[in-house]
Amino acid sequence: MIVVMHPGATQEQIHKVEQRLIELGFKTHPIYGEEKTVIGAIGDKRVLSSEAIINLPGVEKIVPILRPYKLVGRELKPENTVVRVGDVEIGSGKLVVIAGPCAVESEKQLLEAASAVKKAGADILRGGAFKPRTSPYAFQGLEEEGLKLLNRAKQETGLPVVTEAVDPRDVPLVARYADIIQVGARNMQNFRLLREVGLTGKPILLKRGMAATIEEWLMAAEYIVDAGNPHVILCERGIRTYENATRNTLDISAVPLVKELSHLPVIVDPSHASGNWKLVAPLARAAVAVGADGIMVEVHPEPLTALCDGPQSLNPNNFSELMQSLVPIARAVGKEL
Amino acid sequence: MIVVMHPGATQEQIHKVEQRLIELGFKTHPIYGEEKTVIGAIGDKRVLSSEAIINLPGVEKIVPILRPYKLVGRELKPENTVVRVGDVEIGSGKLVVIAGPCAVESEKQLLEAASAVKKAGADILRGGAFKPRTSPYAFQGLEEEGLKLLNRAKQETGLPVVTEAVDPRDVPLVARYADIIQVGARNMQNFRLLREVGLTGKPILLKRGMAATIEEWLMAAEYIVDAGNPHVILCERGIRTYENATRNTLDISAVPLVKELSHLPVIVDPSHASGNWKLVAPLARAAVAVGADGIMVEVHPEPLTALCDGPQSLNPNNFSELMQSLVPIARAVGKEL
Amino acid sequence: MIVVMHPGATQEQIHKVEQRLIELGFKTHPIYGEEKTVIGAIGDKRVLSSEAIINLPGVEKIVPILRPYKLVGRELKPENTVVRVGDVEIGSGKLVVIAGPCAVESEKQLLEAASAVKKAGADILRGGAFKPRTSPYAFQGLEEEGLKLLNRAKQETGLPVVTEAVDPRDVPLVARYADIIQVGARNMQNFRLLREVGLTGKPILLKRGMAATIEEWLMAAEYIVDAGNPHVILCERGIRTYENATRNTLDISAVPLVKELSHLPVIVDPSHASGNWKLVAPLARAAVAVGADGIMVEVHPEPLTALCDGPQSLNPNNFSELMQSLVPIARAVGKEL
Amino acid sequence: MIVVMHPGATQEQIHKVEQRLIELGFKTHPIYGEEKTVIGAIGDKRVLSSEAIINLPGVEKIVPILRPYKLVGRELKPENTVVRVGDVEIGSGKLVVIAGPCAVESEKQLLEAASAVKKAGADILRGGAFKPRTSPYAFQGLEEEGLKLLNRAKQETGLPVVTEAVDPRDVPLVARYADIIQVGARNMQNFRLLREVGLTGKPILLKRGMAATIEEWLMAAEYIVDAGNPHVILCERGIRTYENATRNTLDISAVPLVKELSHLPVIVDPSHASGNWKLVAPLARAAVAVGADGIMVEVHPEPLTALCDGPQSLNPNNFSELMQSLVPIARAVGKEL
């Protein structure tokens, strides 16, 4: 890291900072500029927050040089991670499509959705049994009953299922039914939940927090991998900005950027990103074109009656058309669909 | 609520929307404008999300008229809520000062901090035993050992203590030791945790999420009150914006605005808002002047060696000076200190 | 518009609001709900800001129903606007590619860039002669000399040119040389400049402001069209968000959304959006896939020596590869390239 | 500055970067870390953007060490700048209050406002003659007629006047009538306007751009000072964030932070920051408590009929009460009122 001293820092202050750095195990390299002195500090101290130094007299700021994550970074593991779920590979050359309703509402609704997305070519079924809702008065999910219905749909279609866990106490239960456990945007920094899903060893779909930086997102993934579970799939789902013409702002640039920084697969959720079913298809096409490893799309047999996120759900016909439109784009960027 | 129809909506579409609204228990009042038709729908259906309507053919948008929260709003309970913690009242005419270290690090550190803030006039001691940290490699708190030290400090100083719970599983343990349970910014929408702390019946300090709207913040409080616990204190601690010259952007306007919308007490945390101890004192003064019911300030006996948030911690001298500077400002806005 | 009254509004207050609305030329339709009264006000009063009503006693808020723009909206003109520049059509079925250096630096640099982008298949040459720069110490452009060089490049390649005007006083000069006049992001709400370029009758490329909402962007276009110039091309170039891993956050959703709201053509500038040449190609592909009418890309013969925006400029080879990769994607979304 | 090399950068790449730095006039100090090499580059090259280096092979990023502004920074001029306007001093120990209507609407309106704010103790009269409006259909100001009315109000009350210039062509006209020329938020990066007002030598009130960083704001001030005009007053007026419960988010922390970074006086505009007259008084009190050199408040004799910004305007009574409430707070922070 680089310690930047105030222009008026005294020689003694500079010396004390060096001393402290040496105590902490760094080698120091001061550079005396015309206006300011900076001290280069060598040593792999990711654990050390800059807090031990920043308050020393004369210090203006600390500039970290190493990235704060290790296990999820490309620097130590240059080759792509491929997450396997049954026969499906996420992060290899094949584009993966996850689809299904926001929430599991009933057997009929889920089975219809599952068979429709299967028919249109989806690889994995999604459906929420535990729903984090902004309002305590909104539908909170069918819980274990929902998990059982997901299992039923899996039996019928052969599709592996992804579903969300929202409470560390539910993780073992969710892990019994889910092929992939989702950590939702609101829980991206629920560090206890991250540890708990990390301990399951199951594939984890980690959504980006609503206002998380890319670095914080990768640090959340680092928690899971650090708990012993390398099977992490990142999911960009839009970030919160001043623009409210869409529910969130899809940060499409995050996809190629994260693929440069990390070896983990990255998928895109155009449904939550936009909150508007009319935008889902174009955004899904953009996601494929930008190089995502997959997409996750909300599909409901009858969006008009959905208990959750109807406005952003495709009906089976629209989903099927979307799937067909993705084929030439996937091919154009060297992926199969 | 108001349903706005597309300019080209047909009479039949308008009719179908009305029918659906009536099925859902609303009375409808269509207004035929020159370009658009809107349908006023009367009925208190906070539970109903607009999703049952928004997807109907011809609907452009839904405009909610009633606020989504009830229990925390001033409309149903106009008088201020006063939360009592031992002899301390939060939300009455007396300004409340909560102070102490970010994290409990050791007996010596905590007792020194506690006695210093007590001496300077603080009302409540803060200190984290469970710390949510962005990096898995950072200090995560002393956990139960930290709670015991807080209890020790409480015995010695007589100050009630506030400390954070980060996991629903820890709530009973934290509730045993804490006079006020804190829900941190990252957990503001951890709905399971909200329910769990709601069930304790203890005073809850609910920090605003890093990118939470005021409405979402109040909805989070609604979860706690809906679980049967009306003793909620709101804490503004800065929001995430494009400006990164400060750690967060203190949304000072939120204080008078929330006090207009809700009867709950509101305090300000200038330490997390700024991330910079030099800004803490002026921001604390601004918080008092703007009408906050209290402030929460990080104080460490030796910020240079703090394991957590040293850069934003005041030392005992600076804290004592701050306290003195607040007296005339509190008086100017009609509060005692 | 809808006027929402406070829950405690008196009958007299409601009556006064109605009276005022009637004076302003509206017809009123009050709806008495259980908690609140709302007043529907019919009449096309885009000119009237809500300010004449909002301060009346008992008024809680105003909800506009009509969009604030007219001329640029699809409601009055459903068919796409096609802007013609020589033989090039923007907004028709053919994807338009604008390319060239950020700034015109020298004859050699510009001619090399122009011939390279022409060769790779670009339709229009870009190059700045007047540069708005954050620092007064940075290169500010060659001004009229730069315009002459653009003209020279146009003669040599046959490519029409787009260049920016930053001062209303320069508009006549720029209009003499430019085929398309660009209004930059920082000037999107420089209303005098908008009027001035509107008066030229020339095609205008209107970049979205760094923190402009889609509605404000369309209102800026409305200024130009209202001045008598319907030849407006909108350009999404990224917005400012809390995420600073990229220079801006490309709001890719804005493309299909604006195309739904407005008949004007929309193009994407992946260079400014990302600030990072490695992201330009994937973002350009995403822009085509999402349905943009064109892209604008910075290309410099030697990015390492560029005086402006080198880090986000492609070299001729990379640009040429990008062009080839766009062909199948354009075709997949029904466009020619 | 510090050049950070990629972990895999070769010795030759490091060497080439050093060579280029030396050509550009820097002295170089490479530091070889365990994972990465960084190169310290000494030399005051504010003019040089990092662009000449960032694209060199093997470079990961550039970290600037010196601030990009000089003339407005405290480093070269530690003592406060005091701007004098007639007998009024801005930036000395006395709190300055600027008040008046958003727009000059008529002689009667302006003279009433002027006499009311004078009576309540304001130091300077504000009023817009040229109004930048989001909609081309909104009231755009009385222009020269408005300037004449401001002059009339100045004669009657003795108050100096501040009014906005929106077009470089109008600056000489505005300078004839105004004691202080305002540059509005939308024009903070209208660099031609900045130069033009710089050339007048008159005091300039520079509002922060709606999404400007503190650094960009100071760079805008640098443009004015660099044009030879050191009489710059900075005005914080709220920034754009995801929160839309208020018109903007008042960045109150910017006041003490800017006062640390710069010697220029800083005032606060609580009217534009909140867009809501009920919040103006508490925010004004917070601004004084946080250490602002003054405040600028919109006051209208009859806010209900205002042509512009009525919802955020105080009436004379409320303004007078506000003024009285500020006295003890100003005194508490060591200022006179």
Determine the Cα–Cα distance for residues C79 and C82; give it in Å rounded to an integer: 9
Distances (CA, A) of C211 to A131, C189, C193: 33, 11, 18
- The pLDDT of residue B46 is above 70: no
Interchain pair C40, B31: CB under 8 A: yes
Residue B172 has pLDDT above 90, yes or no: yes
Q: Token match 């040459």: residue?
A: C125
SS3 C225: helix
Distance (Å, rounded) from C-alpha B272 to C-alpha A254?
27
Dist CA D44 CA D82 (whole Å): 28
Domain D2-63, CATH among 3.30.70.1140, 3.90.1570.10, 3.40.50.150, 2.60.40.1930 = 3.30.70.1140
Compute CA distances B46 → A97, B64, B65, B225, C2, whole Å. 35, 9, 10, 16, 20
User: Which pairs count as long-range contacts for D172-175, CB under 8 Å and 24+ apart, including other chains?
Assistant: D172/D200, D173/D144, D173/D147, D174/D129, D174/D130, D174/D147, D175/D200, D175/D202
pLDDT category at B235 given cuts 50, 70, 90 is: very high
Neighbours of B155 (CB within 10 A): 9
What percent of chain C is modeled with pLDDT above 70?
Answer: 98
Per residue in C166-182, pLDDT (tens digit) is 999 999 999 999 999 99
**What pLDDT score does B24 carry?**
85
> What is the pLDDT of chain B when averaged over all its residues?
94
Residue matched to tokens 């008040």: D99
Q: What is the mean pLDDT of residues B300-306?
A: 87
Q: For A9-101, where are the alpha helices, taking DSSP H only?
A: 11-23, 51-54
Taking the CA of residue B110 and the nearest CA in chain C, the distance in Å comes to: 35
**CA distances for C64 relative to C46, D5, D240, D276, angstroms:** 9, 53, 21, 18
* Residue found by looking up tokens 């220079």 in the block: C247
Position B61 scores a pLDDT of 87
Q: Is the pLDDT assigned to residue B45 strictly greater than 80?
A: no
Per the document, the length of chain D is 337
List the chains bordering chain D where 3 or more Cβ pairs fall under 8 Å.
A, B, C
Q: Are A239 and A249 in contact (CB under 8 A)?
A: yes
Identify which of C183, C187, C268, C271 has the alpha carbon closest to the alpha carbon of residue C231: C183
Vertex A211: Cα angle to A208 and A212 (nearest 5):
50
Predicted confidence band at A305 (pLDDT cuts at 50, 70, 90)?
A: confident
Mean pLDDT along residues A269-286: 96
Ranges A53-62, C263-272, D107-116, D257-266: which has the least confidence: A53-62
pLDDT of C46 reads: 56
Compute the nearest-CA separation of B225 from chain D (Å).
23
Report the distance separating Cα B317 and Cα B303, nearest Å: 12
Mean pLDDT of D98-123: 97
| Interface mutation vs chain D, best among A74, A242, A248, A251, most D CBs within 10 Å | A242
Judged by average pLDDT, the poorest of A31-35, B249-253, C95-99, D76-80 is: A31-35
Q: According to CATH, where is 3.30.70.1140 located in chain C?
A: 2-63
Amino acid residing at C27: K
How distant is the Cα of B252 from the closest Cα of chain C, in angstroms? Answer: 19
Residue A122 has what pLDDT?
Answer: 98
Per-residue confidence (pLDDT) for residue D43, from 0 to 100: 81
The one-letter amino acid at B47 = V
> A120-129, C23-32, D81-90: which has the minimum mean pLDDT?
C23-32
For β-strands B27-32 and C2-5, DSSP reports them as: unpaired
Burial D103-135 (b: 16+ CB within 10 A, else e): bbbeeebbbbbbbbbbebebbbbbbbbbbbbbb
Q: What is the pLDDT of residue A44?
A: 65
Nearest-CA distance C66 → chain A (Å): 15
CB A255, CB A268: distance < 8 Å: yes
pLDDT in tens, B57-101: 889 888 888 888 999 999 889 999 999 999 999 999 999 999 999
Q: Hey, of C213, C243, C248, C288, which one would you mutate to test binding to chain A, going by the most A CBs within 10 A of its CB? A: C243
Angle between helices B277-290 and D277-290 (to 10 degrees): 140
A260–C278: do the CB atoms touch at under 8 Å?
yes
Minimum mean pLDDT among B136-145, B287-296, D285-294: which range?
A: B136-145
Average pLDDT over residues D162-191: 97
C282 alpha-carbon distance from chain centroid = 21
Residue D223 and residue C136 in contact, taking contact as beta carbons nearer than 8 Å: yes
Assign D50 a pLDDT band (cuts: 50, 70, 90). Answer: low
Contact of B165 with B130, CB cutoff 8 Å = yes
Q: Is the pLDDT of residue A212 over 80?
A: yes
Decide if pLDDT at A46 tops 60: no
pLDDT value of residue A119: 98
pLDDT digits (tens, 9 = 90+) for B236-269: 999 999 999 999 999 999 999 999 999 999 999 9
How does strand D294-298 pair with strand D266-268?
parallel
d(CA A103, CA A100): 9
pLDDT band (50, 70, 90) for residue B301 = very high
Interface contact flag, B34 C42, Cβ < 8 Å: yes
Nearest to C207 by CA among C193, D208, C199: C193
Architecture of domain C83-332: Alpha-Beta Barrel (3.20)
CB contact under 8 A, B222 and A55: no
A127-140 mean pLDDT: 90
Question: What's the pLDDT at C314?
Answer: 95
Give the nearest partner residue to A251 out of C243, C254, C325, using CB atoms.
Answer: C243
Report the C-alpha dihedral over residues A279, B47, B229, B206, rounded to 10 degrees: 20
**Closest partner residue to A286 among C242, C245, C286, by Cβ?**
C286
Range name among B128-132, B214-218, D56-60 with the lowest pLDDT average: D56-60
Q: Is the pLDDT of residue B23 over 90?
A: no
Q: Do C54 and D240 touch (CB under 8 A)?
A: no
Chain D residues in contact with B287 (beta carbon < 8 A): 286
Give B134's DSSP letter.
S
pLDDT at C219: 97
Note the pLDDT of residue A229. Answer: 98
pLDDT of residue B7: 85
d(CA C188, CA C209): 5
pLDDT band at C44 (very low <50, low <70, confident <90, very high): low
Nearest by CB to B291, which of D282, D290, D332? Answer: D282
The pLDDT-based confidence of A112 (bands split at 50, 70, 90) is very high
Does the pLDDT value for residue A50 go beyond 70? no
As a whole number, mean pLDDT of residues B184-190 equals 97
Give per-residue pLDDT as tens, A175-209: 999 999 999 999 999 999 999 999 999 999 999 99
pLDDT mean across residues, chain C: 94
Provide, as residue numbers in chain B, all residues whose Cβ is less than 8 Å from the Cβ of C242.
Answer: 211, 240-242, 244
Contact A136 B223 (CB under 8 A): yes
Closest residue of chain D to A2, computed from CA coordinates: D2
**Averaged confidence pLDDT in chain D:** 94
Distance, CA of A330 to CA of B11 (rounded, Å): 43
Which of A63-67, A85-89, B47-51, D42-46 has the lowest average pLDDT?
B47-51
CA distance D23 to chain B (A): 33
Indicate if the pLDDT at residue D47 is higher than 60.
no
Distance of alpha carbon C269 from alpha carbon C253, whole angstroms:
14
Q: What is the pLDDT of residue A42?
A: 87
Record: contact C328-A331, CB cut-off 8 A: yes
Query: Measured between CB atoms, which of A241, A282, A325 is closest to C256?
Result: A282
Q: What is the DSSP string of C178-193?
A: -SEEEE-GGGTT-HHH
Of B29, B42, B240, which is closest to C34 when you measure between CB atoms?
B42
pLDDT category, C25, cuts 50, 70, 90?
confident
pLDDT confidence bin for D38, thresholds 50/70/90: very high
> What value does the mean pLDDT take over residues C39-49?
72
Q: What is the dihedral of CA B77, B78, B84, B89, to 10 degrees?
A: 170
Smallest CA–CA distance, residue B12 to chain C, in Å, is 20
Could you give the CA distance from residue A121 to residue A320 in angstroms, rounded to a whole number?
8
pLDDT of residue B108: 97
pLDDT tens digits, one per residue of C120-138: 999 999 999 999 888 888 8
Strands B37-42 and B27-32: antiparallel
Subunit contact D2:A63, Cβ cutoff 8 A: yes
pLDDT, average across residues B261-289: 97
Q: How many residues does chain A have?
A: 337
| Percent of chain C clearing pLDDT 90 (strictly above) | 79
Report which DSSP code applies to A79.
S
Weakest-pLDDT range from A130-144, B192-206, D86-100, D138-152 = A130-144
DSSP codes of every residue in A271-337: HHHHS-HHHHHHHHHHHHHHT-SEEEEEB-S-GGG-SS-GGGPBPHHHHHHHHHHHHHHHHHTT-B-
Alpha helices in chain D (DSSP H): 11-23, 51-54, 107-120, 144-157, 171-177, 191-200, 214-226, 254-261, 270-274, 277-290, 316-332
Stretch D40-61: mean pLDDT:
76
* Predicted confidence (pLDDT) per residue in C92-108, tens digit: 999 999 999 999 999 99
pLDDT reported for residue A153: 98
- Read off the amino acid at residue D54: I
Q: Evaluate whether B233 touches B180 at the Cβ level (below 8 Å).
A: yes
Q: Where in chain B is the domain with CATH 3.20.20.70?
A: 83-332
